[in-house]
Homo-oligomer: A and B are copies of this chain.
Amino acid sequence: MSQAVLKISCPDRKGIVAEVCQTLADCSANILDAQQHREDLDNQFFMYVKFDSSELNCERDILRTRLQSKAELIGFDWELNFSDEQKRLAIMVSKYDHCLYDLLLKNKYGEIDAELTLIMSNHDDLEPTAKHFGIPFYHIPRNKDNREEADQQAVDIFTEQKIDFIAMARYMQILTPILINTYPNKIINVHHGFLPAFKGAKPYHQAYAKGVKLIGATSHYANEELDMGPIIDQETVRVNHSYSAENMVQQGRDIENRVLARAVKAHAADRIIVYKGRTIIFD
């Protein structure tokens, strides 16, 4: 069964759902799952529709044209993706490999609705892992002197490989605007702290010093402000006085895996809309 997801965002007014669904019905699309949300403060409307596209009575382009007409009439932004045109995912990684393995396994089990196209690293340590899972591996060394060149090289490869979105699976480097701006709201980072607390380096050591009783991990879109992009998912895990900072690092790996994987799955499945620095996530 081929499926598609339509996402819409616009100032709220009456009748949007009816008109959009009528457009879909006219093309013989059967709605499988849908959610609407209205942001009270701004009177902003968001809509997610997943539909069966296997019996469309028209070309996909016709459907797109009709949606565009509606969009101009009603004034909504829209995005339409078909499940048989999978997004292409690149993973960036350094040496810590737990998030990488987790994504590779979830990919293997078919949990991520995307094509895992390549792995890119600033080290070559994880090339055997990429090979073990049969994913192409690119090694782009990166140091403080060649950041721009390295990121440009990455952009070139991503462009050539038609990459749609990127997961930073503990990529221990700060991206330059070259990458950030090429993929706005398409680069997912995992931070090993419960943002906005413990930004920056060594969050577990900050957490230890503060004596917190929960540590957290956060997945978010990378933007030009370090660790401050739109939050996608967060999780915490209980710690106590007996945990050293090293024990916290250990505990943290599991929740880093989970918040990153959930973010990647949600993005792949077109379930995220970014609005005013926050994420609307349909599930």
Question: Nearest residue in B to A213 (C-beta to C-beta)?
Answer: B234
- Chain B residues with Cβ under 8 A from A214's Cβ? 194, 216, 234-236
Q: Are the C-beta atoms of A40 and B244 separated by less than 8 Å?
A: yes
Q: Are the C-beta atoms of A36 and B38 separated by less than 8 Å?
A: no
Known: A21-B21, A39-B241, A128-B132. 4 other contacts (CB 8 A): A129-B132, A195-B197, A195-B212, A241-B280
Question: Nearest residue in B to A208 (C-beta to C-beta)?
Answer: B278
Q: Are the C-beta atoms of B36 and A33 separated by less than 8 Å?
A: yes
Bound complex: CA A234 to CA B210 (Å):
13
Question: Nearest residue in B to A250 (C-beta to C-beta)?
Answer: B111
Q: Which of A169-193 contact B (CB under 8 A)?
A: none
Q: Are the C-beta atoms of B31 and A17 separated by less than 8 Å?
A: yes
Given contacts A97-B105, A109-B253, A210-B231, contact A29 B14 (CB under 8 A): yes
**CB of A162 within 8 Å of the partner chain:** no
**CB of A30 within 8 Å of the partner chain:** yes
In-complex Cβ contact of A242 among B33, B132, B196 (8 A): B33
Copies in the complex: 4
Bound complex: CA A211 to CA B272 (Å):
13
Interface of chain A: mostly helix, strand, loop or mixed: mixed
**CB of A232 within 8 Å of the partner chain:** yes
Bound complex: CA A242 to CA B269 (Å):
15
- Chain B residues with Cβ under 8 A from A254's Cβ? 258
Q: Are the C-beta atoms of B30 and A13 separated by less than 8 Å?
A: yes
Bound complex: CA A277 to CA B200 (Å):
22
Chain A contact residues, CB within 8 Å of chain B: 12-19, 21-22, 24-25, 28-41, 97-98, 101, 105, 109, 111, 128-129, 132, 194-198, 210-214, 216, 230-236, 240-242, 244, 250, 253-254, 258, 277-281, 283
List 22 A–B pairs whose Cβ atoms lie within 8 Å, in order of A's numbering.
A15-B25, A16-B31, A17-B17, A18-B25, A19-B25, A32-B38, A33-B36, A35-B36, A39-B241, A41-B244, A111-B250, A132-B132, A194-B194, A196-B198, A196-B212, A211-B230, A211-B277, A211-B279, A213-B233, A214-B236, A236-B236, A242-B283
Bound complex: CA A105 to CA B250 (Å):
11
